[in-house]
Amino acid sequence: MNQYVVTGGAGFIGSAIVRSLLAEGAGKVVVIDNLLSGREENLEEVRARVELVRADIRDYEAIAPVIRGAAVVFHEAAIPSVPRSITEPIPSHDVNINGTFNVLRAAKEGGAGRVVYAASSSAYGDTEVLPKVEGMAPRPKSPYALQKLVGEYYGTVFADVYGVETVSLRYFNVYGPRQDPSSPYSGVLSLFMKAVLERTQPTIFGDGEQSRDFTYVEDVAGLNLKAARAKNVSGKVYNGGNGGRITLNQAWVLLQKIEGVEIAAKYGPPRAGDVRDSQADTTLAVRDLGHAPRFTFEAGMRATLEWYRTQR
């Protein structure tokens, strides 16, 4: 029996969950990853205690035996990125919706104990008020946002009609070591880190006054472990943010200050499907899951920048 299964476990967030599970005493963790964006190097320090199953969540027959009997499945495998879902809607639909359905179905058929699902703050879209509270009506603005929301809905329906325990965590712009900065679809802070270390100008889409509740990856991993243990939460959806918000302009100013350089950003046209402001209300996650983020934005940025420096 596989106690803990992490889909997308060779990825940026998935590998952080794997490390946290092992640090908290898990003997072994099973990773399902197709290594499309995940990298085996992300598991380097813990490789001996990880069983890596190279499989795609679109392939039910390949993943079902791995998920069978698991105590907890952390479902992180996805094709992220709002703009990628606009330019490449078919693979992102297939992975994010059909793949998630396969994971839930495998959990149901295989009697898995719980599925903790990586949902997204993008589901809210532009709300009239901040911070964003779980009870607000979702208004997805992109295929990606909609796909992640469908995954949540599926989770809740599987809990209600099949009794599969599911918990959805709406991540708020996760950043930190191992986030891949090599694609135009990469998370903005990873691109900022690369730019500041290479002394090049980052591009900011729009006026840079859009804001995000950037959340450090270790805090998200910690929240996942809490969501795996919490009682009476099945079928529910929780914000996994910090509760603050930072504009892109502020983030770039801070990074220049930390690095001791002055580099003006370039500004480009606003991006289609972009949410203007994002900030989590963490009340429910704190109350029901014991969510307790530890990293201030500056502490997370410093730790992340040091990691990128070591990779050069």
Interface positions with ligand UD2 (CB under 6 A): 80-82, 120-122, 171-173, 187-188, 191, 203-205, 210, 212, 248, 271, 274-275, 278
CB of 71 to ligand UD2, least distance (A): 26
Closer CB to ligand UD2, 50 or 79, in the complex: 79
The nearest distance, CB 208 to ligand UD2, in angstroms, is: 7
Q: Which residue is nearest to ligand UD2 (CB)?
A: 122
Q: How far is the CB of 183 from ligand UD2 (least distance, A)?
A: 10
Minimum distance between the CB of residue 33 and ligand UD2, rounded to whole angstroms? 17
Residue closer to ligand UD2, measured from CB, 93 or 212: 212
Q: Tell me whether residue 12 or residue 105 sits nearer to ligand UD2 (CB atom).
A: 12
DSSP the chain: --SEEEETTTSHHHHHHHHHHHHTT-S-EEEEE--SS--GGGGGGGGGGEEEEE--TT-HHHHHHHHTT-SEEEE------HHHHHH-HHHHHIIIIIIHHHHHHHHHHTT-SEEEEEEEGGGG-S-SSSSB-TTSPP---SHHHHHHHHHHHHHHHIIIII--EEEEEEE--EE-TT---SSTTS-HHHHHHHHHHHT-PPEEETTS--EE--EEHHHHHHHHHHHHH-SS-TTEEEEES-S--EEHHHHHHHHHHHHT---PPEEEPPPTT--SB--B--HHIIIII-------HHHHHHHHHHHHHHT-
Closest CB 278 distance from ligand UD2, rounded Å: 4
Is the CB of 60 or the CB of 205 nearer to ligand UD2?
205
Residue closer to ligand UD2, measured from CB, 52 or 246: 246
